[in-house]
Structure formats: structure tokens, C-alpha cells
Structure 1
Amino acid sequence: MAIADHGSHRSHHSDGKLWRLCPFWQSGTASSSSSSTQNLQTSSQHSQLNGGVGSNSRSSSNSVSFVARSLLPVRRRLRLDPAHSVYFPYEPGKQVRSAVRIKNSSKSHVAFKFQTTAPKSCYMRPPGGILAPGESIVATIFKFVEHPENNEKPMEQKSTVKFKIMSLKVKKGTDYVPELFDEQKDQVTIERILHVVFLDPERPTPALEKLNRQLAEADAAIDSHKKPPVDTGPRVVGEGLVIDEWKERREKYLARQQVEAVDLCKM
């Protein structure tokens, strides 16, 4: 009994000591809080992992689609002549002209727009417009030719000026404004980037002859727009001419009346 009582006393004493040091509600709360914390951490890790995988998959798919689009051939809407260069006669210190024929080779209306890396020394006429299917226009490009440097020969001067021609599919009846290309950036196609090539104006070449023909065609088109349309209908007398003729007749009539009045007084 003594041993049993002693054992039970030790047991009660140890149980009370354990209860005071680690009561059940504290141990249970600690265990539950630690398990919940571990669960939250695990779930957050899983969500982060899943989100990372999703974002990586989306970014990878976007990169793949971008690469696929870049590998596809560009579907051009315009046909340019010349197709790769802009030819200018080399005349230092003067403003010279070049010409590029632009033709709409698509089945829809297309807006085009010029851009240049040297807007202060170069400009285009027209700078943009809209072409119907199959319609073409000869655009004129103006450029000021700088004098060569001391270590350069006249015809060996290299120009860093470039011209970019962009296109945009539009609906029939759309009015051209440059803001079209800003509003629909995703639909804009860069048709060509043209480099400057100088020609000797004193040396006849096929490129120079072609340039002169295109410039003459562009000038003729401008002159045709400036001339008033020929009037083939019946001639209509202007309002001013009618009023002037009526005044003249009235003055003659009043003069006759005065003469008749004088004659009447003499009688």
C-alpha cells in the first residue's frame, strides 16, 4: 500500500506538474494553430506554384505565338516601284526630288503613310492617303542634299536618311487622317523601309531615266488637279452681267425720257 500510495502520489504530483506546465487546451491550441499555419503555408505554396505555372504557361504561349507570327511572311497590301531604294540626283546644296509609285495590290481600300528619319530636311507629297483596290499614285519625295565633307568624294557620300511606308486596311468611304495609324496600331503593316541612293545627274542611267519619267507623271497629275474642269454645258450669264445690262438699259431709257420731255416743253 505504501508503495501504491507513493506511486499514486508521484503520479498525481507528476500529473499536476504536467498540467501546470503544459495544460491540454494550450497543447491543443498550439498543435491546432501550428497545423493550420502549416496548412496555410502549404496552400499558399501550392497556389503560388500553380500561379507560377499558369503565368509561365501563358507567357510561354504568348512568346510562341509571337514567334509564330514573326515567322509568317508579311502580307503586303502595297506594291512599290522602286521597291527598296529612293533615288535622288546628287546636287549638293540644292533641294532635289525623287518619286515612288504606290499601288494598292489588295482587294480592299488601303491607307498609306510616309515617315522619315529626317523630317527637317525631307518631306513627301502627299504624306499619306487612301487607295482603292488597284489604284496607284506617284508620290514625290523632296530632300536637301548636304555638301560632302572634306574626306569624301562627291558621289561617295553616304546618307543615313530612311523612309518608312506603312499601310492600314480601311473601309470604303473612310476619310484619311494620320490618327488612323495611331488608333489601330495592331493592324498597321510596315510595307517597306527605303534607303537613299544618289545618282549622277550628268550620267544617263536606266534608274535616272525612270526617275525622270515618274517625276513627269507626278507633275502632270498635279497640273490636272489644278486646272478647272472643262465646262461643256450651255453658257449661263452671270448675275452680275445681268444686273449691269439692266442698269445700262435703264439709263438709256431715262435718257430718252429726258429728251422727250425737253422736246415736249419746246412745243
Structure 2
Amino acid sequence: MPIAGGEKLSDTKIFSLWPICSSGNASSSFNSTQNLRQCHASSSKTVSSVVRSLLFPLRRRLRLDPSSYLYFPYEPGKQVRSAVRLINKTKSHVAFKFQTTAPKSCYMRPPGGILAPGESLIATVFKFVEQPENNEKMSDQKKKAKFKIISLKVKEGVDYVPELFDEQKDQVVVEGVLRVIFVDAERRSPALEKVERQLAEADAELEARKKPPAEAGPRVAAEGFVIDEWKERREKYLARQQVQAVDSV
């Protein structure tokens, strides 16, 4: 059975992937046969999923911009920002999640979410720039932090929770590993100008998401609480109930 690179998956490798099953001290031959069948079905499923992952690796679902590096202005002792655009290039809903090797000095907004087919989003990445030590150069600090973006295909209407990626580990795809690159904050460069444009777009998108949709009828705030006339009606109704209760006494 050929695999990538022209190698063959030998019988020995397949056998090593097959879990050893035992029926234990069965009380009857029926129970022993049933346990053996269940074991065989589970083993076949395990082997087939492993072979399928080797022969048909999952394709990337997102397009990242930038795709390899995150550019940060170099300002020691300060928290700086960078940005990356995520674009869902599939026809399915895709969940994404950020991971970093430096969680104490870095965080992302949003740290995860779900993108509809064709939808895009600019995520803002925050990083605290440490003071250089022992004549450390600006370029040396880029090795201290990396960011990984992973994705998972989900059904429409599913709510995002980080545990989704733990429940379906075999369907998770690493979309990219972004390395940190520092640029001189006082010197104009194409990389720094692009980061500033993306950050401006990210801030605008965040403000747009905070605004309630302009629709007819009662308006709903971003947090999901009913406001305006429906709230006023309920308050008046409760006030009348209290007055009637006092009069009855």
C-alpha cells in the first residue's frame, strides 16, 4: 500500500497499530464471542482511521495574512500589538483557536471562534516586549514566542467552546505557525504600515460588532438583553402589580 514519499505501509506496521484484545474470564462462549467481535470492530476502526490520516492528510481550511510571521513594533517594556487576518476558504463552517508558546506575555483577541463559509476576521495579538538582557539584540527576542492557529470543521449553529478541539482531535488541522519578527517602531517600513492598517480594520470590526443591529421592533443589545419599550412595559406592569397588592392589604 503506497504512502506519501513512495514508502509502503508494511504488514508489521499495520499489526503494530492493532490493539491486543482479550476476552478475560468469560462466563460463556457467547460472551466471549461478543467481546471478540466488539474488539475486532474497535480495532478495525482504529487502524482504518490511522491509515486514512496517513494517506489522506486533512487540507487547510483557512488562509492567513500574514502566513508565516507576526510583525511587532519593538518597544521594550511596553505591550505592543500585531494582527493577522483569517479567511475561511471552504464551504463549511470552521472553528479556529490560537495557541502560543508564551501565554504569560501574549494573548489574542478573539482567542477563538467560528467563521462561516467565505467569512474573514482580523485577530489582534498582544505581546509584552521584555527588556533586553546581556546586550541582547532585537532580532534575538523573536525566537521566544510562536503562535499556532488550528482549525476544525463544525456544523452550522454550533456554539464555540475550546473543548471542541479536544473532542475531535483527529479532525484538527494546524493552519500555520507564526513566528515573531520585531521591527523598528521609529522607522517606517512596509511591514509596520501593513500592521497599522490591519489593526485599524480590527478596531473598526470590533466596534461594529458592539453596535446593535438596526431592525424594526424592539431592539436587542449586543449582550442579548431586551431594552427600550419592552423593558418599560414590564417595569410598568410590575409597578401596577405592587400597587394592587398594597391596596388589597
- TM-score relative to the length of structure 1: 0.62
Alignment of 1:59 with 2:43, yes or no, is no
Once the two structures are superposed, residues 25-77 of structure 1 have per-residue CA deviations (whole angstroms, 9 ceiling, x without a partner) of xxxxxxxxxxxxxxxxxxxxxxxxxxxx97665238999x9688557665110
Contact 1:90 1:155 in 2 (8 A): no
Which one of 88, 91, 113 corresponds to residue 97 of structure 2? Answer: 113
- Aligned equivalent of 2:171: 187
- Superposed, which structure 2 residues align to 1:93-242 within 5 Å? 93-154=77-138, 156-230=140-214, 238=232
Alignment-mate amino acid for residue 94 of structure 2? V
Unaligned runs of 5+ in 1: 1-52, 244-267
Aligned-residue sequence identity (percent) comes to: 65
SS in 2 for 1:159: helix
* Change over 3 Å in CA distance of 1:233–1:164 after alignment to 2: same
Which region of structure 1 is more displaced relative to structure 2, 222-231 or 195-204?
A: 222-231
RMSD: 3.4
Q: Tell me by how many angstroms 1:224 deviates.
A: 1.7
C-alpha distance in 2, partners of 1:144/1:206? 22
1:227 and 1:72 mapped to 2: Cα distance? 43
Aligned residues: 190
**Local SS of the residue matching 1:214:** helix
8 Å CA contact retained: 1:109, 1:169: yes
Q: Is the 8 A contact 1:155 1:200 kept in 2?
A: no
- Give the Cα–Cα distance (whole angstroms) in 2 for the partners of residues 115 and 132 of structure 1: 21
**Residue 157 (structure 1) shift:** 3.7
Counterpart secondary structure, 1:58: helix
The counterpart of 1:88, out of the listed 72, 76, 82, is 72
Question: How far apart, CA to CA, are the structure 2 residues paired with 1:71 and 1:202?
Answer: 50
> After superposition, what is the alpha-carbon deviation per residue over 1:110-163, rounded to whole angstroms, capped at 9, x for unaligned?
000000011111110000000011000000000000011132234554432111
Residue 186 of structure 2 aligns with an amino acid whose one-letter code is E
Contact 2:138 2:182 in 1 (8 A): no
CA distance in 2, matches of 1:236, 1:162: 50
Larger radius of gyration: 1
State the distance in 2 between where 1:232 and 1:71 align. Answer: 53
Aligned equivalents of 2:203, 2:77: Cα separation in 1: 23
State the alpha-carbon separation in 2 of the partners of residues 67 and 56 from structure 1: 10
Question: Larger helix proportion, structure 1 or 2?
Answer: 1
